[in-house]
Amino acid sequence: MTGQDERRAAAIRRLKAKRAFAIHAAMFVAVNALLVVVWASTGAGYFWPIWPFLGWGIAVAFHGWSVYFRAPISEDDIRREMEKGG
């Protein structure tokens, strides 16, 4: 595989990861909005939707971090890992 092919494949992987995150975030918003509607329509007492919101929100935050802020694997990373025997 040439350098251009590798860069193209890496760009495609990044685009797929960004799309997957967008779907995950949209589902998070939609489901949690539905939970708030259920909470509001059943008397709006104790705000129980906070628990799934916080739990799932942590997962969405980590997913976003892995897509937008984690550095890609470099050739140096691969070389160091190979030298460790891993």
Domain boundaries, the chain: 3-84
- pLDDT value of residue 49: 97
- pLDDT value of residue 74: 80
How would DSSP label each residue in 16-44? Answer: HHHHHHHHHHHHHHHHHHHHHHHHHHTT-
One digit per residue, pLDDT tens: the chain, 86 residues? 677 888 888 889 999 999 999 999 999 999 999 999 999 999 989 999 999 999 999 999 999 999 999 888 888 888 888 888 75
- pLDDT value of residue 86: 54
- 17-24: list long-range contacts, CB under 8 Å, 24+ apart: 17/66, 17/67, 18/67, 18/68, 20/63, 20/67, 21/63, 21/64, 21/67, 21/68, 24/60, 24/63
